[in-house]
Amino acid sequence: MRPKDFIELARNSYAKPDLVEDWSAPQLVDDGLNEDEVRLLERTPVKTGRLLLLGVGGGREAIPLAKQGFEVIGVDFVPEMIAHAKANARRQHVEIEGLVQDICSLKVPPGTFDVVWFTTGLYSSVPTRACRISVLQSIHNALRQRGCVVCQFYWDPSGANSRRRQRLGALVASLTFGNREAEDGDLLLGNVEFIHLFRSEHELRSEFEAAGFSVNYLDTCTGGAILVKGPM
């Protein structure tokens, strides 16, 4: 599959009514931030301001972040998700805004956000290294100076493929006009969405730094990083 096919597959999958209801269910949303997310929030150097939440879903992360004092703008490519997230937020007596956009073609005004937050594993759902760097560059442009990114990703260094298998995959993609940028760690999760499993710390850092970010914090064990716009 080509990168745009993966994106469309995920959009169609998450737009199904049963998945919208699952992600918006009060029993899920009311759980709030998990332990890893709480630790990332505690380490985030920016504690207030405008926060762009990528992949708002039903509002599980958006609501506690709004209660923390952030002005939350949630992004999702499924309009129904945003509608449910805003309704869940009102039920919890906070307000959030919503933008219907695909993060791979993010369009927001430059220099208007203090924090950008990737929901759990969302960074890994962006197909190809080139597209991930492009997304980060758009985010870099959207942030104010010294603004930061909370980035969550999937990590699995144990399943690295052999070079022979990588070359074979690249050859098949070339011959079939498929994803010529396929990488070790790419997989289709549950026939619902693309996921890239990161294999090394160097792979992550090189993408972050290629987009102009300094790495403030990186924990591969929990799959979380904090990036800062500007030198450390």
Would you list the DSSP string of 122-153?
Answer: GGGGS-SHHHHHHHHHHHHHHEEEEEEEEEE-
| pLDDT for the residue numbered 1 | 77
Tokens matching residue 48: 């207030």
| pLDDT for the residue numbered 89 | 98
Q: With 60 as the cut, is the pLDDT of residue 174 above it?
A: no
Q: With 70 as the cut, is the pLDDT of residue 172 above it?
A: no
pTM over 0.85: yes
Tokens matching residue 130: 């080139």
pLDDT digits (tens, 9 = 90+) for 102-156: 999 999 999 999 999 999 989 999 999 999 999 999 999 999 999 999 999 999 9
Is 220 within 8 Å of 201 (Cβ atoms)? yes
Q: With 70 as the cut, is the pLDDT of residue 184 above it?
A: yes
Q: What is the DSSP letter of 63?
A: H
Q: With 80 as the cut, is the pLDDT of residue 166 above it?
A: no
Domains and CATH numbers, the chain: 3-229 (3.40.50.150)
Tokens matching residue 52: 């762009």
Place of tokens 């049963």: 18
Cross-strand bridge partners of residue 189: 193
Q: How confident is the model at residue 181 (pLDDT cuts 50, 70, 90)?
A: confident
| pLDDT for the residue numbered 232 | 73
Q: Is 26 helix (H, G, I), strand (E, B) or coil?
A: helix
Cα–Cα distance measured from residue 206 to residue 18, given in angstroms and rounded to the nearest whole number: 38
Q: With 60 as the cut, is the pLDDT of residue 195 above it?
A: yes
Mean pLDDT of 52-60: 98
